[in-house]
C-alpha cells in the first residue's frame, strides 16, 4: 500500500491500543486510538479515517451498537475485534455492516493482512471491474440507480442509501450479471473476497443486508432470488451506461 492510510483503533484496553499503534505504524499505517464510543466520535468528527478497528466489548455503547450507528451515515470500512468462539457476535457484526472480523487473541500480522484486504476491496475492485461491460458508470434497475464512480446507491425517490464497500461490490457483481444464476463460488470470485473458508459464510449475510436495503419485502425478495441448489440470481432488467 503506497498511500499512508489513516486507521482508528477503538479498544478499551490500553495495552492493545498501544500494541496496534506501534505495530501498524511500523508497517506504514497512521494510527489514532480511542478508548470508547465517545472518544471515537470525537476523533471521526475532527479527522478523516480510511478504516476503523472496533472492539466488540466496550464501556457504554458496545461495538455492535456503534457499528450500526456508523452504517446509517457512512461507508467507512470497519473491522470488528470479537471474543474467540463468539460466532453469534461475529454474525451480528456482519449483519449490521462490519466488513470483516478478527477474533481475540489475534496475531497482529493476521490483522494487518485483513486490513490490507479490506482496504483493497474498498478502494479498488479489479476483478469485478474486468467483468463490467464497457466499464459502465452507472446501473439502473427497478427505478433504483447505482453510481459506480461515486459508489452511491439511490432509491426510486432519489434518496441516498448508504452502502458498505462489501455491499457495493456485491450489488455491482449482481448488476453486471442480471438474470444469471451465480453460485457462491462465482460471487466469491467476482467480489475478490479473502479465503473462501471465511468469506463464504459472509456471502449470505451480505445478501441479507442488501435485501433489507433494496427489497420491498426482504423476506419475500423479488430482486435477489435464492435459487436452491444453484446460488443467487438478480431477477430484474438492468440498464447500464
- Residue range 162-168: mean pLDDT, rounded: 86
11 confidence band (pLDDT: 50, 70, 90): very high
Give me the residue label for grid cell 496496534: 20
Check the CA dihedral 197-106-23-75 and report its sign: positive
Residue 210 has φ and ψ, to the nearest 5°, of -65, -40
Q: Provide the pLDDT confidence category of residue 132 given band limits of 50, 70 and 90.
A: very low
Closest by CA position to 31, among listed 112, 150, 149: 112
Q: In whole angstroms, how far apart are CA 18 and each of 32, 43, 60, 217, 227? A: 10, 17, 21, 46, 48
Mean pLDDT for the stretch of residues 37-58? 93
Residue 196: which pLDDT band, with cuts at 50, 70 and 90?
A: very low
Query: Would you state the pLDDT for residue 177?
Result: 87
In this predicted structure, what is the pLDDT of residue 126? 45
pLDDT-derived band of residue 95, with 50, 70 and 90 as boundaries?
confident
Query: What does the alpha-carbon distance between residue 225 and residue 93 come to, in Å, rounded to a whole number?
Result: 24
Q: Is the per-residue pLDDT at 28 higher than 60?
A: yes
| pLDDT computed for residue 197 by the predictor | 36
**Of 110, 118, 100, residue with least CA distance to 1:** 118
Residue 125: per-residue pLDDT: 46
This model's pTM is above 0.75: no
- Domains of the chain with bracketed CATH: 6-123 (3.40.50.2300), 126-240 (1.10.10.10)
The pLDDT score that the predictor gives to residue 38 is 96
d(CA 139, CA 146): 5
CA 136/CA 130 separation, integer angstroms: 11
Give the pLDDT of residue 217. Answer: 95
Report the relative pairing of strands 160-161 and 144-147 from DSSP bridges: unpaired
Provide the H-helix boundaries in 78-143. Answer: 87-95, 108-123, 126-131
Mean pLDDT of the chain: 84
Predicted local confidence at residue 182, as pLDDT: 85
Amino acid at each position: 500500500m503506497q498511500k499512508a492510510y489513516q486507521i482508528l483503533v477503538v479498544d478499551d484496553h490500553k495495552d492493545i491500543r498501544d500494541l496496534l499503534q506501534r505495530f501498524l505504524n511500523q508497517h506504514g499505517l497512521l494510527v489514532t486510538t480511542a478508548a470508547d464510543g465517545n472518544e471515537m466520535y470525537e476523533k471521526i468528527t475532527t479527522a478523516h479515517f480510511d478504516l476503523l478497528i472496533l472492539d466488540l466489548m466496550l464501556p457504554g455503547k458496545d461495538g455492535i451498537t456503534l457499528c450500526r450507528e456508523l452504517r446509517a451515515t457512512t461507508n467507512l470500512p470497519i473491522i470488528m475485534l470479537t471474543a474467540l468462539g463468539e460466532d453469534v457476535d461475529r454474525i451480528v457484526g456482519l449483519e449490521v455492516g462490519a466488513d470483516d472480523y478478527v477474533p481475540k487473541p489475534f496475531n497482529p500480522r493476521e490483522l494487518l493482512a485483513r486490513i490490507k484486504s479490506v482496504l483493497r476491496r474498498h478502494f479498488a475492485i479489479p476483478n469485478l471491474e474486468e467483468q463490467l461491460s464497457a466499464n459502465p458508470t452507472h446501473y439502473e434497475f427497478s427505478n433504483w440507480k447505482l453510481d459506480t464512480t461515486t459508489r452511491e446507491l439511490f432509491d426510486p425517490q432519489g434518496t441516498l442509501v448508504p452502502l458498505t464497500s462489501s455491499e457495493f461490490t456485491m450489488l455491482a457483481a449482481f448488476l453486471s450479471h442480471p438474470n444469471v444464476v451465480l453460485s457462491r463460488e462465482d460471487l466469491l470470485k467476482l467480489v475478490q473476497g479473502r479465503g473462501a473458508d471465511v468469506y463464504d459464510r459472509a456471502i449470505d449475510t451480505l445478501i441479507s443486508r442488501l435485501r433489507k436495503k433494496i427489497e420491498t419485502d426482504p423476506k419475500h425478495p423479488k430482486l435477489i432470488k435464492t435459487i436452491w441448489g444453484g446460488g443467487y440470481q438478480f431477477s430484474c432488467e438492468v440498464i447500464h451506461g
